[in-house]
Amino acid sequence: MNNKETSANNRTLLVFNCHEPWVHQLGVLGYQLEIIVGLKGKYNSGWDERMRPIPINARMVTLPQALANPTPYHCIITHNVTDLLDVRTRPEPRILVLHHTFAGRVEEERATCDYETMKAMLRQYMDLVGGHVVATSMFKGESWGFTDDIVHFGVDVEDYLPHVGEQARGLRICNFITSRRRILRWDFHEEAFAGIPVTLVGHNPDMSGVEAALNWDHLKRTLQAHRFYIHTADPRLEAGHNMATAEAMAAGLPVLGNRHPTSPIRHGINGFLSDNPAELQRYARMLLEDRDLAALMGQQARKAVAERFSLTRFKHSFLRSIEIARRKWCTRKIEPSAQDARLLNLPTTSVAS
């Protein structure tokens, strides 16, 4: 390794602990990571290893430790307005990652504010302090009005076990279903898969018998064993796929769901889409009865996710995002510490995440 590569690998990114599967990807960037844990409002105060192992070259820190660190960070990665305000005294470039649509975030949090004003205030704040915004899809970026930098998450298909599908069951992975019923079109899900054996996996303490995977290896074995995967979402509030959907496709599962303009599923090729619950149930029963068909469609799903959600592409795209953030920081108009939530009337909420 030459001196330039060694220097790059010694640089450190500061990232708030949110969306562990997404943060885990940052391990491919080649930087040291300091991940802020112990955050208010998160159901798990530490890193949730049921979702992913701790990324390589990473260590956990508290917010006070991060704020007091005398060594400069190469870049700070935030997920919401609260994160941005928490690090406003740090003198480094910063990125805000948009993981959800604006409408979906407002729906989940039951937020009450002037939405257009809030989006305008966020843009003003980011422009003034030289911050950079990255959206994880064009659909989400458009909902916020930030479409200059779209970085899709990445999945390495080689991380997953060869699909077997010996369990004639559907699978869905989702946290906090009760608070997201409208976003997830859960009434449609329940009608379409009534009487169909479906395994639900995720942190849902109010749902009897529904638990998170023990760890990532357990999750991979669960994906390997099931026949198909389910993703339903209201096209006004949520994207037609998420990381769990891409994981399932990488593991060789066909995907069933409602029609959505951003779905990666090609109907009849790597899954089935329908807005008719009875029709979707018929497709589900077809896959339960025909293991070979499910395997064939799952192979197409795996091929599609390898092409669309390349981990290598994520690495190159997000490294570029970091460099854009560093350039913007050098031309900022004010120091972040000179502004606060009261001055810009930004609500201290996690709506932007």
Residue type for position 216 = W
Contact between 319 and 29 under an 8 Å Cβ cutoff? The reply is: yes
pLDDT at residue number 349: 46
One pLDDT digit (tens) per residue for the chain, 353 residues: 344 443 455 699 999 998 899 999 999 999 999 999 998 877 778 899 999 999 989 999 999 999 999 999 999 999 988 899 999 999 999 999 999 998 887 777 666 666 788 888 889 889 888 999 999 999 999 999 999 999 999 999 999 999 999 999 999 999 999 989 999 999 999 999 999 999 999 999 999 999 999 999 999 999 999 999 999 999 999 999 999 999 999 999 999 999 999 999 999 999 999 999 999 999 999 999 999 999 999 999 999 999 999 999 999 999 999 999 999 999 887 766 555 544 445 544 444 44
Token duo for residue 7? 């220097």
Q: How far is CA 19 from CA 43, 124, 189, 310, 331, in A?
A: 12, 26, 24, 19, 30
- C-alpha to C-alpha distance for 322 and 197, rounded to whole angstroms: 44
- C-alpha to C-alpha distance for 41 and 43, rounded to whole angstroms: 6
- Fold of domain 157-308: Rossmann fold (3.40.50)
Q: How far is CA 343 from CA 93, 113, 294, in A?
A: 21, 16, 56
pLDDT at residue number 343: 44
For CATH 3.40.50.2000, the residue range(s) in the chain are 157-308
| The architecture CATH gives domain 3-154+311-344 | 3-Layer(aba) Sandwich (3.40)
Contact between 255 and 232 under an 8 Å Cβ cutoff? The reply is: no
Residue with tokens 């029609």: 259
What does the H/E/C string look like for the chain? CCHHHHHHHHCEEEEECCCHHHHHHHHHHCCEEEEECCCCCCCCCCCCCCCCCCCCCEEEECHHHHHHCCCCCCEEEECCHHHHHHCCCCCCCEEEEECCCHHHHHHHHCCCCCHHHHHHHHHHHHHHHCCEEEECCHHHHHHHCCCCCECCCCECHHHCCCCCCCEEEEEEECCCCHHHCCCCCHHHHHHHCCCCCEEEECCCCCCCCCECCCCHHHHHHHHHHEEEEECCCCCCCCCCCCHHHHHHHHCCCCEEECCCCCCCCCECCCEEECCCHHHHHHHHHHHHHCHHHHHHHHHHHHHHHHHHCEHHHHHHHHHHHHHHHHHHHHCCCCCHHHCCHHHHCCCCCCCCC
pLDDT at residue number 333: 72
Query: Which residues are paired to 70 by β-bridges?
Result: none
How far the first Cα of the chain sits from its last, in Å, is 37
* 182 CB neighbour count, 10 Å cutoff: 15
Contact between 254 and 33 under an 8 Å Cβ cutoff? The reply is: no
pLDDT at residue number 108: 73
Give 343: exposed, middle or buried? Use CB within 10 Å, 0-12, 13-18, 19+. Answer: exposed
Query: Which residues are paired to 58 by β-bridges?
Result: 33
Contact between 152 and 97 under an 8 Å Cβ cutoff? The reply is: no
Contact between 127 and 92 under an 8 Å Cβ cutoff? The reply is: no
Query: Which residues are paired to 310 by β-bridges?
Result: 155
